[in-house]
Each structure stands twice: as structure tokens, then as C-alpha cells.
């Protein structure tokens, strides 16, 4: 469900932050994010009702991992392929559970980063369901 009113989203965000104090803002008034452990997974709740679990890597980090020398001659497609290679093992561990729980997988890429994102719509008006989904993800990523 899309939350039309900024005031409604502000109330939902406030309730989420009260229930799970580890939530933080990616941008003021925008989505809330929550780190899911030490291996780089991030949970995100957006005002449009999207619920995401994603694992990403910065393009510069990929270039550093790829070679000791210069990377100027590497195309962004080559770097993105390598990024997917680095992200693959972590994603494959969680993929079955996330897909079974109704998430859809996609790869997001721009000049800054590559991320494997699992997302599904969630009804933000059903607060107990949102908190249950957050707790489920926290449990999944602790294992």
C-alpha cells in the first residue's frame, strides 16, 4: 500500500523507530534502513510500501578487489559482472528463504554501486505485519 500523506508516513516512521531503535534514515524524511549484521545486508522500508533486503558493494571497492594496478581501462559492465560475482555467495545463502517468503529478486546498478535486492510490497497501515517482517528478516540474517 502506498502511503499518500507525508504526515502518515512520518507517523509510521516514528512508530518503526520506537519499536526498532536501530532504524536510521537514509535521507531526512525518506526511507528507513536497518543493518542486518556484519556482512553488509541492509533492510529498507520505504514510504511507497516497498520492503527491501539488499546486499551491495561500491564500484570502487570492486575495482580495488579486482587488481593491484590501475582500473581505468575496465568498462563498467566488466566491473558490474565482478561485483555480482563478489555478491553471489552471500545472496545465494539467503535467496531460498527470501523467495519463499514472497520477495522478488533484482540487481540494481549505477556508477556508484551494484546491489542484489530482494523486495516485496508491504501494507504500512498494518503495523504489526511490518514489525513481524522486520523481526523475521533480523532472525534470518542472524543465522
* Predicted confidence (pLDDT) per residue in 60-74, tens digit: 777 777 765 555 666
Residue 3 has pLDDT above 60, yes or no: no
- Does the pLDDT at position 1 exceed 50? no
| Strand stretches in the chain, DSSP E | 24-25, 32-35, 41-45, 50-58, 104-109, 113-121
pLDDT tens digit string along 128-142? Answer: 999 999 999 999 998
Per residue in 89-104, pLDDT (tens digit) is 888 899 999 999 999 9
Q: pLDDT of 41-59, one tens digit each?
A: 999 999 999 999 999 888 7
List residues bridging with 117 in a β-sheet.
Answer: 54, 106
Q: Which residues of 13-40 are buried (b: 16+ CB within 10 A; e: fewer)?
A: beebeeebeebeeeeeeebbbbebeeee
Query: What domains, with CATH codes, occur in the chain?
Result: 6-142 (3.30.1460)
pLDDT at 10 > cutoff 70: yes
Amino acid at each position: 500500500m502506498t502511503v499518500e500523506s507525508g504526515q502518515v508516513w512520518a507517523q509510521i516512521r516514528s512508530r518503526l523507530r520506537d519499536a526498532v531503535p536501530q532504524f536510521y534514515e537514509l535521507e531526512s524524511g525518506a526511507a528507513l534502513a536497518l543493518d542486518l549484521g556484519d556482512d553488509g545486508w541492509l533492510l529498507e522500508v520505504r514510504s511507497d510500501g516497498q520492503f527491501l533486503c539488499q546486499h551491495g558493494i561500491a564500484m570502487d571497492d570492486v575495482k580495488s578487489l579486482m587488481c593491484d594496478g590501475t582500473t581505468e581501462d575496465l568498462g563498467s559492465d566488466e566491473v558490474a559482472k565482478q561485483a555480482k560475482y563478489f555478491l553471489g555467495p552471500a545472496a545465494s545463502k539467503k535467496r531460498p528463504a527470501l523467495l519463499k517468503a514472497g520477495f522478488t529478486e533484482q540487481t540494481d546498478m549505477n556508477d556508484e554501486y551494484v546491489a542484489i535486492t530482494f523486495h516485496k510490497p508491504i501494507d504500512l497501515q498494518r503495523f504489526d505485519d511490518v514489525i513481524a517482517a522486520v523481526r523475521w528478516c533480523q532472525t534470518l540474517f542472524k543465522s
